[in-house]
């Protein structure tokens, strides 16, 4: 048996190719196939950004490698990283099975998303835990790390740099606002005391304070196309209100995401940018965390703390 502690790094997942979009979308919809219109609409969004490559896959691979390197530096030989994706192969269950095949007996799970919601990180962890129990692996979850000092430091630097770029572009023409954002969820999460919203506001406040940008707001993005109400306001509405209030530029800071993928490259870089242009205001987006060493150290530190507490 491998005496190492398994680290299951989980991320949303993305299709492997254009042909895989239908299967992926069906998985997201819990086994219900999308209508031809829904599929065509999603395919068009991928076509607009990916050019045959689905960036989230490569980004997740690099982050998993970066975490292995950070763990090796902190505790040589103690951890082995495995990948598990929510909606694509290798699925979360495949990652746990790979650990079991290697004889792993203890594992820590961590998601490449800093904020906890029962509907996001909670559901990743439930699947991982069930599979680990079935395979006789002791499992410990890192639930969130939205205020880890190194994560905040990395985000502060990004906001400062991009804010300076926005100032240069607008040439002191008028007031600027920082718009922090994250993936919307069905509004019913509020009724179950979900910490998602509170954690997102805490990250936003802490980053704004560190960056010295007191004029900020939090807004939602990428709401699903279902009949039930989703958390709002959406960034497109917020942009309109911000322009109407006389702002000349906004800094988009999607703190709920950690790499470039469809929800950043399409929803912000194409859709929100076009809206800002139509409204006559500038929009600059912060760089995503990717494999920033501070982010890799955040993840490694959380894994270390969870495993030292549990095993």
Q: Which residues are annotated as a binding site for Fe(2+)?
A: 183, 263
Decide: is 120 part of the binding site for ligand FEC (CB under 6 A).
yes
Distances (CA, A) of 227 to 36, 197, 217, 295: 18, 21, 26, 36
Question: How far is Cα 212 from Cα 249, in angstroms, rounded to an integer?
Answer: 17
Yes or no: say if 139 and 133 are a contact pair by the CB < 8 Å rule. yes
Q: Which long-range contacts (CB under 8 A, 24 or more apart) does 34-41 make?
A: 38/225
Binding-site size for ligand FEC (CB under 6 A) equals 20
Decide: is 14 part of the binding site for ligand FEC (CB under 6 A).
yes
User: Which of 27, 129, 177, 183 lies at the binding interface for ligand FEC (CB under 6 A)?
Assistant: 183
Question: How far is Cα 119 from Cα 206, in angstroms, rounded to an integer?
Answer: 24
Task: Please state, as a whole number, how many other Cβ atoms lie within 10 Å of the Cβ of residue 254.
Answer: 23
Task: Specify binding-site residues for Fe-coproporphyrin III.
Answer: 12, 29, 45-46, 124
Q: Give residues 193-252 in contact with ligand FEC (rule: CB under 6 A).
A: 224-226
Distances (CA, A) of 153 to 80, 115, 147, 222, 255: 27, 16, 10, 26, 13
Task: Report the residue number, 5 or 108, with the smaller CB distance to ligand FEC.
Answer: 108
Helix (H/G/I), strand (E/B), else coil: 117: coil
User: Which of 8, 27, 54, 189 lies at the binding interface for ligand FEC (CB under 6 A)?
Assistant: 54
Task: Report the residue number, 198 or 241, with the smaller CB distance to ligand FEC.
Answer: 198
Task: Report the residue number, 15 or 249, with the smaller CB distance to ligand FEC.
Answer: 15
User: Which of 140, 234, 263, 275 lies at the binding interface for ligand FEC (CB under 6 A)?
Assistant: 263
Decide: is 262 part of the binding site for ligand FEC (CB under 6 A).
yes
Decide: is 145 part of the binding site for ligand FEC (CB under 6 A).
no
User: Which of 7, 113, 128, 162 lies at the binding interface for ligand FEC (CB under 6 A)?
Assistant: 113
Decide: is 261 part of the binding site for ligand FEC (CB under 6 A).
yes
36 CB burial (10 A radius; 0-12, 13-18, 19+) = exposed
Where do we find the tokens 């699903």?
Answer: 224
Decide: is 298 part of the binding site for ligand FEC (CB under 6 A).
no
Alpha carbon 173 to chain centroid, angstroms: 33
Tokens, residue 278: 């139509």
Residues in the chain: 311
Stretch that binds ligand FEC, among 21-29, 74-82, 171-179, 239-247 (CB under 6 A): 21-29
Task: Report the residue number, 42 or 243, with the smaller CB distance to ligand FEC.
Answer: 42
Decide: is 146 part of the binding site for ligand FEC (CB under 6 A).
no
Tokens, residue 189: 């999460």
Tokens, residue 183: 């993936």
User: Which of 29, 62, 127, 135 lies at the binding interface for ligand FEC (CB under 6 A)?
Assistant: 29
The contact set with ligand FEC (CB under 6 A) reads 12, 14, 25, 28-29, 42, 54, 56, 113, 119-120, 183, 185, 224-226, 256, 261-263
């Amino acid at each position: 048996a491998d005496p190492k502690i398994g680290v299951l790094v989980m991320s949303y997942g993305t299709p492997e190719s254009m042909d895989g979009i239908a299967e992926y979308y069906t998985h997201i919809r819990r086994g219900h196939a999308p209508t031809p219109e829904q599929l065509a609409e999603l395919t068009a969004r991928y076509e607009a950004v990916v050019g045959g490559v689905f960036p989230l896959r490569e980004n997740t691979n690099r982050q998993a490698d970066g975490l292995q390197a950070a763990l090796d530096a902190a505790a040589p030989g103690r951890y082995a990283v495995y990948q598990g994706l929510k909606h694509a192969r290798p699925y979360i269950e495949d990652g746990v099975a790979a650990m079991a095949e290697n004889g792993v007996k203890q594992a820590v799970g961590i998601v490449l998303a800093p904020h906890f919601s029962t509907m996001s990180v909670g559901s990743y962890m439930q699947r991982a835990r069930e599979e680990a129990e079935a395979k006789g692996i002791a499992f410990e979850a890192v639930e969130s790390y939205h205020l880890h000092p190194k994560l905040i430091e990395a985000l502060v630097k990004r906001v400062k740099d991009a804010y300076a770029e926005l100032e240069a572009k607008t040439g002191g023409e008028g007031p600027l606002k920082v718009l922090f954002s994250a993936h919307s969820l069905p509004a019913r999460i509020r009724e179950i005391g979900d910490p998602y919203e509170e954690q997102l506001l805490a990250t936003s406040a802490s980053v704004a304070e560190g960056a010295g940008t007191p004029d900020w707001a939090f807004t939602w993005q990428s709401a699903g196309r279902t009949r039930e109400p989703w958390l709002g306001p959406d960034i497109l509405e917020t942009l309109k209100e911000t322009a109407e209030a006389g702002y000349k530029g906004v800094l988009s800071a999607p703190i709920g995401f950690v790499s470039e993928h469809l929800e950043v490259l399409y929803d912000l870089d194409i859709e929100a940018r076009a809206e800002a242009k139509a409204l006559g205001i500038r929009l600059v987006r912060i760089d995503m965390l990717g494999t920033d060493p501070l982010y890799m150290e955040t993840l490694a530190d959380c894994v270390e703390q969870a495993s030292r507490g549990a095993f």
